[in-house]
């Protein structure tokens, strides 16, 4: 077998081994992601708790994001926004003033573009929904008649004068229907998968790099040994 064929086979073996290890790393990473999604879904299915029991007077919150909560307060009809997202969906966001004086933004549901949102219910009202953190900024330009493109609390604080709660809720389909709105989709926050699986993914990728490096070194070493043997043979002939 020629030198080049031997070297090519060694490098090929290293590439195959590295490819397998990369695949194993991707599988471990997918396990990590799936575990995180399952964790977020599990949190969203827990029994609802009273939101104010998990919000401190200074506005800090306990382990409550992504969990169902209940709140009681009264809507401020003058504080209502239509949020046009990048997907073209218009969400109706209303201010629910709570007993502690803070305002909780509530996504009551959705409407078609160009349609006026119905007024929120009057009087004291109890609502339930999954408590979510402020959404990320969206670079999509807001269309005429729409102030926001996401439920971005820092932006909302510039529109509503009342102090805001550090999050918002989205009503379920039944509650939205009772208020004459279509349901809004809830985007759950990312859950935490097992960091062990994430570490395994990194290990497999490190092994893949090691396999590639070793295959190159072995192939190079074979070439050096062959060159050395050839050189010795030439010296003997002389």
Stated pTM of the model: 0.62
Across the chain, what does the average pLDDT equal? 79
Query: Which ranges of the chain would DSSP assign to H, the alpha helix?
Result: 3-44, 153-156, 173-178, 195-237
- pLDDT at position 194 is 45
Q: Taking the CA atoms of 47, 174, 66 and 119 in sequence, report the sign of the dihedral they define.
A: negative
Q: Which of the residue ranges 121-125, 138-142, 229-233 would you say has the lowest mean pLDDT? A: 229-233
53-109 pLDDT, tens digit per residue, is 888 877 777 788 888 899 999 999 999 999 998 888 899 999 999 998 899 999 999
| 96 in Cβ contact with 103 (< 8 Å) | yes
pLDDT tier at 193, thresholds 50, 70, 90:
very low
Phi/psi for 4 (5° steps) reads -65, -35
**Residue 172 vs residue 229, higher pLDDT:** 172
Distance, CA of 167 to CA of 151 (rounded, Å): 9
List Cβ neighbours of 180 (8 Å cut-off, separation of 6 or more).
118
Distance, CA of 179 to CA of 158 (rounded, Å): 27
Q: Which of the residue ranges 1-5, 40-44, 166-170, 233-237 would you say has the lowest mean pLDDT? A: 233-237
Q: Taking the CA atoms of 19, 22, 24 and 26 in sequence, report the sign of the dihedral they define.
A: negative
DSSP 121-184: PPSEEEEEEEEEPPPPP--SPPPTT--BSS--HHHHTTT--SPBPSSEEE--HHHHHHTT-B--
Residue 129: beta bridge partners? 69
Q: Kindly tell me if the per-residue pLDDT of 152 is higher than 60.
A: yes
Strands (DSSP E) contained in 41-84 are 49-50, 68-84
């Amino acid at each position: 077998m020629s030198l080049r064929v031997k070297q090519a086979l060694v490098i090929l073996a290293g590439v195959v081994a590295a490819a397998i290890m990369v695949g194993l790393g991707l599988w471990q990473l997918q396990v990590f992601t799936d575990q995180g999604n399952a964790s977020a879904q599990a949190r969203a299915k827990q029994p609802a708790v009273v939101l104010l029991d998990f919000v401190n007077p200074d506005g800090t919150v306990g382990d409550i994001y992504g969990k169902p909560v209940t709140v009681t307060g009264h809507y401020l009809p003058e504080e209502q926004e239509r949020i046009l997202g990048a997907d073209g969906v218009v969400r109706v966001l209303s201010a629910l003033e709570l007993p502690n004086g803070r305002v909780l933004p509530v996504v009551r549901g959705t409407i078609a573009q160009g349609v006026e949102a119905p007024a929120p219910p009057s009087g004291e009202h109890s609502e339930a929904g999954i408590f979510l953190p402020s959404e990320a900024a969206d670079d999509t330009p807001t269309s005429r008649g729409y102030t926001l493109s996401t439920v971005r609390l820092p932006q909302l604080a510039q529109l509503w004068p009342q102090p805001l709660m550090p999050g918002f809720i989205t009503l379920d389909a039944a509650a939205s229907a009772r208020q004459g709105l279509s349901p809004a989709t809830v985007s759950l926050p990312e859950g935490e998968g097992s960091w062990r699986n994430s570490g395994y993914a990194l290990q497999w990728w490190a092994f893949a790099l090691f396999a590639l490096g070793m295959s190159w070194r072995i192939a190079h070493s074979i070439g050096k040994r062959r060159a050395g043997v050839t050189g010795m043979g030439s010296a003997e002939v002389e």
